[in-house]
Amino acid sequence: MMTDYIQTVFELQQKNKHTLQWSTAQQRIATLRKLKSAIHEFEERIYAALQEDLRKSRFESALTEVFFALSEIDFAIQHLKKWMKPRKARKTFTSVFASNRIYYEPKGVCLIIAPWNYPFQLIMSPLISAIAAGNCIVLKPSEISSSVSKVIAQLIQQYFKKDEIACFEGDRSISEFLLQLPFDHIFFTGSTSVGKAVMQAAAKNLSSVTLELGGKSPVIIDPSANIRDAAIKIAWGKLINAGQTCIAPDYVFVHRSKLGEFIVHFKEAVIRQFFTEQGQLDDSQYVKIINQHHTDRLMGLIHDATDRGASIVWGGQVERSALTIYPTLLCDVPLDSRIMDEEIFGPILPVIPYDDIEMPIRTINSKGKPLAFYIFSKDKPTVKRLLTSTSSGGACVNDVIIHVSNPNLPFGGINGSGIGSCHGIFGFKAFSHERSIVFQSALNISKLIYPPYTNKEWVLRLLRKYM
């Protein structure tokens, strides 16, 4: 049975983790280079699989999936020796003659559960961090993006020993079985609802977790913004991967005086980016919805909004058999409609006019903390007001999405949008235990606090003075 095999591999990795714990930077870099070679060998198969699962163009697949992973590998190789180096810690009164260090140790055997929307990038990125940190790793790609899942399994099996890195395909039952095992760390990317179930399962084994979830990432455009520039950027950020992006702009607040201008520029930008010269939606540039279930879910969101009084300003066409929903702009959207409550995860953009900046602030704060927040404004006091009055995993001012591409920045959510961070050193730390070590010297003044305590009031006076 598959579960028996998984159990066997898990036990092999439990034994091997103690060997990997003492792996050097050179050994881990060699593993990262092996992964890079594997990606190069499988590159054409990866593109073909992404085309089959999501109708992704080769360019978009390269930009958002393959090259993203390769750049993370290069960044980790470049910085790994520095990351692994023990970090000095400042001394206190009780360790004034001691040497204080923080060592980064691998957590052990780690489980990575990946989603279907960026099925290659979002399994490779945490894998790179886990390798850099010196762990044994079990991968579970999404069965929904089955073509990519198959390619990943082949890549891992061909290049890595199963006691170091293993990949298991399968449906939900495989994920549920994996979550029963006492992994040292679980890295999950997916929906908030499933993230809660993962955290609940992890709690039974006291496994630490990193949860990369989602949420409704809002946009605010104030009157001072360059409306055309904002519309172009929002059109790209919303419609890349057909909106199936955890940090895609989910809904937009536009100052009422700029609403008409924004709609005009948004339409122009979408047509330029995703339509042919003949005015047809260009399937070679525009990703499809992953499956029928999600196509029907998105259609349901549109119908619920329009039934409640929202208007389709542009788009709205659906080719159900082709799993294609056209870019769609909604206006007059009631705030209590489903599309303003659920993460959209599709090419539908509600646009909400406002008069007073306090209105969007109240609306955003009435919902769960989003994974991303986007502000378009040239007014510094307004930008400061919006950033200090809200909370989100990350934010961009006068752009969207690009913060995910900088490995020097932590990427992650807060509360309902996630726990922990990834990319660069932040991913390395997610898969590492920060172990504090004190190397005590012969001059150990901490003995002053040992019993007996009689006639030691002077010690307390000394501690009060220096602590």
Render pLDDT for 217-254 as a digit per residue (tens, 0 to 9): 999 999 999 999 999 999 999 999 999 999 999 999 99
| Residue 456 in this model has a pLDDT that exceeds 90 | no
Give the pTM: 0.95
With contact defined as beta carbons under 8 Å apart, do 165 and 136 qualify?
Answer: yes
pLDDT above 70 covers what percent of the chain? 100
Classify residue 184 by burial, with Cβ atoms within 10 Å: 0-12, 13-18, 19+: buried
Q: What is the mean pLDDT of residues 345-363?
A: 97
Across residues 352-358, what is the average pLDDT?
A: 96
DSSP state of 95: G
- Region 40-49: mean pLDDT is 98
The pLDDT of residue 416 is above 90:
yes
246 has catalytic annotation? yes
| Domain pair 2-213+414-435 / 218-405, same fold | no
| Sign of the C-alpha dihedral computed for residues 358, 364, 369 and 370 taken in this order | negative
pLDDT more than 90, % of the chain? 90
pLDDT at 467 over 70: no
pLDDT band at 1 (very low <50, low <70, confident <90, very high): confident
User: CATH assignment of 218-405?
Assistant: 3.40.309.10
Which helix H or strand E contains 423, and what residues bound it? none
User: Which of 60, 164, 212, 343 is flagged as catalytic?
Assistant: 212
The residue-averaged pLDDT of 435-442 equals 87
- Is 167 among the catalytic positions? no
Q: Give the three-state DSSP class for 87.
A: strand
Contact between 56 and 240 under an 8 Å Cβ cutoff? The reply is no
Instruction: Tell which residue, 278, 350, 292, 289, has the closest CA to residue 325.
Output: 289
pLDDT tens digits for 293-311? Answer: 999 999 999 999 999 999 9
pLDDT classification of 152: cutoffs 50, 70, 90: very high
Q: What is the pLDDT of residue 145?
A: 97
- Answer whether CATH 3.10.180.10 is correct for domain 2-213+414-435: no
Q: Where are the domains of the chain?
A: 2-213+414-435, 218-405
Q: What is the mean pLDDT of residues 18-27?
A: 94
Query: Mean pLDDT throughout 396-413?
Result: 96
Pairwise CA distance, residues 132 & 24, whole Å: 10
Q: What is the pLDDT of residue 445?
A: 73
User: In the prediction, which pLDDT does 176 show?
Assistant: 96
Instruction: Strand 87-88: give its sheet, edge to edge.
Output: 87-88, 99-106, 432-439
Mean per-residue pLDDT, 113-117:
97
Evaluate if residue 327 carries a pLDDT over 90.
yes
What pLDDT was estimated at residue 8? 97
> Exactly one of 246, 331, 396, 422 is catalytic; which is it?
246
b (16+ CB within 10 A) / e for 422-450 = bbbbbbbbbbbeeeeeeeeeeeeeeeeee
What is the mean predicted confidence (pLDDT) over 188-212? 96
DSSP code of residue 452:
P
What is the pLDDT averaged over residues 389-408? 97
Query: Does position 281 have pLDDT exceeding 90, yes or no?
Result: yes
The overall average pLDDT reported for the chain is 95
